Amino acid sequence: MERRDFFKKAIAVAGSAAIGGTAAEAGETVHPVDNRKVSDIAFPQKRPLITYSDRPPLLETPREVFTSALTPNDLFFVRWHMPMIPTYINPRTFFININGLVENEIKISLEELKTAFEQVELTAVLQCGGNSRTAFKPTASGIQWGVGAMGCARWKGVRLKDVLKKAGLKNEAAWISFNGEDKAVYNETANFVRELKLEDLNDDIILAYEMNGEELPYLNGYPLRLIIPGLYSDSWIKMISNITVTKEKQKLHFMDHAYRVPDNECECETPENLVQKTKPIEEMNVNSIIGYPSTGSKVRNASDLIVRGVAFDGGHGIKKVQISIDGGKIWEDARLDDGTQGRYAYRSFTYTFKPKKSGKLTIMCKATNEKGEEQPFAKDIKWNHGGYKYNGIDEVTIEVV
Amino acid sequence: MTSLTKSILILLFMSTTLFAESDSGITIPYVDFPMKEGKGMYSTKGKCNMCHSFGYVINQGLQSKKFWREKVIKMIVIFKAPIKSEEDIETVTNYLFEHYGNGELE
C-alpha cells in the first residue's frame, strides 16, 4: 500500500516539474469547509455549537448566526490554548496583578476596576487569526475552522493605559506581557503568554468585564479579558490575571513561532519553500460572511429573498459590500446598517432580490474598506503555513424551487 | 410606567442576573472522541490524550505520514510531551497514519 502511494507521489512530483508545480505541491486555497453540524452537547452558558474538543474547549459558531451585528454571548465561538481552565472564579477575591518595571506593583480587584477607573464601552470584532483555516491546502497547522471563529460584541471595561498609569511605568519599560488563568496540563509546557509593544498601546485597548451587557461567559474569559480592537484575537488574553512590564522582549513560543506570517508583500509562501523571516499577524483583513441563506437552503422562485450578512475589517471601516449572483461578474451594492457601532464593529448588510429561475444558485459577497482594500476570490488567496488571515470572497449555493 | 421606574427596574433586573451568574462555577462536559481500535492505540491514547482531548488531534483531518510524524515531534519539541524513544514516535505515527491517514507518505 505504501509502495503504491509512493508511486502516486513520484508521478505527482514528476508532473509538477513539467507544469511548474501541482496545486497541492504549491499550496492553494479553496472555500473553507462549510455547514458542519452543531454538537448535541451544549457547553455551560452556551447553546450547542460546532465542537472540536472538550479539553480545551474549542467551539465554532455556525454561519446562521452571522445575520446580526452583535453575536449573542451564548453563540460566541470559544478557543483556549491551555486545557486547564478554572471552572470557578470568585469575583470578590479575583485580582489582576501589575508588576515588573512599574513604580508600584499593584493588585486591582474587579470592584476597583468598576469604580476607580473611567469606564469605557466599545463594539469590536473578535476573530481568530486562523478563522477559515480549512481553506488552505495542504492543511495548515492549527484548528481546522470553518467560517465561524469570529463574533462581534459590545465590550465594557477600563483602558489598559489607565491601569498601567496607576502602577506607574518606569522609564525603561518597553514591553507588556499578559497571562491568563488557563494552565498547561504538563508542568514543562509553556503557558500562553502574549506581549504587546508599549508603543502600540492605544486608548481603544481595554480590560473588559462585560460583554453585550452581561458578565463574560466563563468560556469567553470570565471575569476579565483583554480587548485589542482591529487586531486578530491572538493577544486578547482570557481570564487575564497578570500583566508584567519588561524592558526586553521575552522568548515565548506563542509570540516567536505561532501567529506569524511571512514577512513579505503577499504574506505568502509555498510548503516546500517556507519563508524564514516572519512577522505577527496583527491587523485584520477586510472580510464578509453571508449569514442567510446557507448552502442547501431552499427558496421559492420569483419571491423576495433577503440575503443577510456581516462585514468588517481592522478598523478603517467598511465602505461597501457587494453581492453577485452570476459567479462574480456583476456586483451590486448591498444595503449597510447605519454604522453607529463604530469602525471596529460588524456592519450588517442586506440585499433583496427575486431569483428568476429554478435550480442551483450561488450567491457571493465581497466587502471593500475605506482604504480601498477588497476581498480577493478564494482561489486568489496565497498560502501560508499557519493558515492565517484568510479573507476570500464568501459564497453559498442555494436551491431555487 | 414612567421612564424612571422603567430604568430602575431594568437596573434591578440587570444586577440580579449579574450576581446570579457569578456565584456558581461551571462544569465542562466530557465529550467522547472515540479512537479507532488497532495496533498502538493504547500507547497513542496515553501519549496524545494527556494534554488535550483526542478531538484536537483528529480535527486535523486525514493526513500524510510525514504530517503525523511532524506533529508528534512538534508536541515533543515545543510542548515538551514526555515521549522519549524513537520507537514510541514510530508507534504513535504509525497508529495515526494507519487510522487517520490520507494514504500519502508525504
In order along its 401 residues, chain A shows pLDDT tens digits of 333 333 333 333 333 333 333 444 579 999 999 989 999 999 999 999 999 999 999 999 999 999 999 999 999 999 998 888 999 999 999 999 999 999 999 999 999 999 999 999 999 999 999 999 999 999 998 999 999 999 999 999 999 999 999 999 999 999 999 999 988 877 777 778 888 999 999 999 999 999 999 999 999 999 999 999 999 999 999 999 999 999 998 888 777 778 899 999 999 999 989 999 999 999 999 999 999 999 999 999 999 999 999 999 999 999 999 999 999 999 999 999 999 999 999 999 999 999 999 999 999 999 999 999 999 999 999 999 999 999 999 999 999 99
Q: Given an 8 Å threshold on Cβ–Cβ distance, is B52 in contact with A53? A: yes
CA distance A84 to chain B (A): 9
For residue A225, list its beta bridge partners. Answer: A208
Neighbours of A333 (CB within 10 A): 11
A12 and A91 in a single domain? The answer is yes
Q: What is the pLDDT of residue B4?
A: 42
Is there a contact between A99 and A164 (Cβ–Cβ < 8 Å)? no
- Could you list the beta-strand ranges (E) of A128-216: 136-137, 150-159, 175-180, 193-197, 206-211, 214-215
A337 and A274 in a single domain? The answer is no
A12 and A72 in a single domain? The answer is yes
- Residue B106 lies inside a defined structural domain of this protein: no
Domain range for residue B67?
Answer: 3-100
Q: Which of A215, A249, A283 is the last residue of a domain?
A: A283
Domain range for residue A249?
Answer: 1-283
How far is CA B65 from each of CA A15, A23, A378, B86, B103, rounded to the nearest angstrom? Answer: 22, 20, 28, 15, 8
Is there a contact between A136 and A29 (Cβ–Cβ < 8 Å)? yes
B22 has pLDDT over 60 = no
Q: Which residues of chain A lie closer than 8 angstroms to B28, CB-CB? A: 43-44, 54-55, 57, 85, 87
Q: Quick one: cell of A91?
A: 469575583
> For residue A237, what is the domain's CATH number?
3.90.420.10
- Chain A residue with CA closest to B31: the answer is A54
Q: Quick one: cell of A387?
A: 493558515
Contacts of A245 (CB under 8 A, 6+ apart): A98, A99, A100, A101, A102, A164, A167, A169, A170, A173, A175, A176, A177, A198
Q: Given an 8 Å threshold on Cβ–Cβ distance, is B55 in contact with A223? A: no
Angle between helices B41-48 and B86-100 (to 10 degrees): 110
A265 and A378 in a single domain? The answer is no
* Residue at grid coordinates 483583513: A285
- Residue B39 lies inside a defined structural domain of this protein: yes
Q: What is the pLDDT of residue A22?
A: 41
Strands A298-299 and A278-280: unpaired
* Chain A residues 349-388 within an 8 A CB cutoff of chain B: none
Q: Which of A283, A302, A321 is the last residue of a domain?
A: A283
A43 and A92 in a single domain? The answer is yes
The residue among A127, A111, A117, A138 whose CA lies nearest residue A269 is A138
Residue B13's pLDDT band (cuts 50, 70, 90): very low
The C-alpha atoms of residue A34 and residue A132 are separated, in whole angstroms, by: 9
Q: Given an 8 Å threshold on Cβ–Cβ distance, is A215 in contact with B22? A: yes
Q: What is the pLDDT of residue A187?
A: 73
A232 and A110 in a single domain? The answer is yes
Q: Find the chain B residues whose C-beta atoms sit closer than 8 A to any C-beta of A.
A: 14, 17-18, 21-22, 24-31, 33, 50-53, 55-56, 59-61, 63, 67, 71, 74, 78-82, 103-106
- Chain A residue with CA closest to B29: the answer is A43
> For residue B19, what is the domain's CATH number?
1.10.760.10
A277 and A327 in a single domain? The answer is no
A196 and A135 in a single domain? The answer is yes
For residue A152, list its beta bridge partners. Answer: A125
Q: Which residues of chain A lie closer than 8 angstroms to B24, CB-CB? A: 88
Q: Which residues of chain B lie closer than 8 angstroms to A2, CB-CB? A: 105
The C-alpha atoms of residue A317 and residue A335 are separated, in whole angstroms, by: 15
A276 and A312 in a single domain? The answer is no
B3 has pLDDT over 50 = no
Flag whether residue A30 sits within 8 Å of chain B, measured between CB atoms. no
Flag whether residue A48 sits within 8 Å of chain B, measured between CB atoms. no
Q: Which of A257, A283, A309 is the last residue of a domain?
A: A283
With residue A299 as reference, give the H or E element that holds it. Answer: strand A298-299
Helix/strand/coil percentages in chain B, nearest 5:
60, 0, 40
The C-alpha atoms of residue A252 and residue A194 are separated, in whole angstroms, by: 8
A55 and A68 in a single domain? The answer is yes
A143 and A226 in a single domain? The answer is yes
Contacts of A175 (CB under 8 A, 6+ apart): A195, A196, A197, A198, A245, A246, A247, A248, A249, A250
The C-alpha atoms of residue A42 and residue A59 are separated, in whole angstroms, by: 10
Its pTM stands at: 0.90
Q: What total of structural domains would you count in chain A? A: 2
Q: What is the pLDDT of residue A250?
A: 81
Q: Given an 8 Å threshold on Cβ–Cβ distance, is B31 in contact with A53? A: yes
Q: What is the pLDDT of residue A25?
A: 58
The residue among A108, A388, A382, A151 whose CA lies nearest residue A266 is A382
- Residue B51 lies inside a defined structural domain of this protein: yes
Whether complex ipTM tops 0.90:
no
Q: What total of structural domains would you count in chain B? A: 1
Query: pLDDT for B25-62, tens place per residue?
Result: 999 999 999 999 999 999 999 999 999 999 999 999 99
- Residue B85 lies inside a defined structural domain of this protein: yes
Q: Given an 8 Å threshold on Cβ–Cβ distance, is A55 in contact with B52? A: yes
A264 and A347 in a single domain? The answer is no
- Residue B82 lies inside a defined structural domain of this protein: yes
Q: What is the pLDDT of residue A20?
A: 33
Return the CA Rg of chain A. Answer: 22
Query: pLDDT for A330-357, tens place per residue?
Result: 999 999 999 999 999 999 999 999 999 9
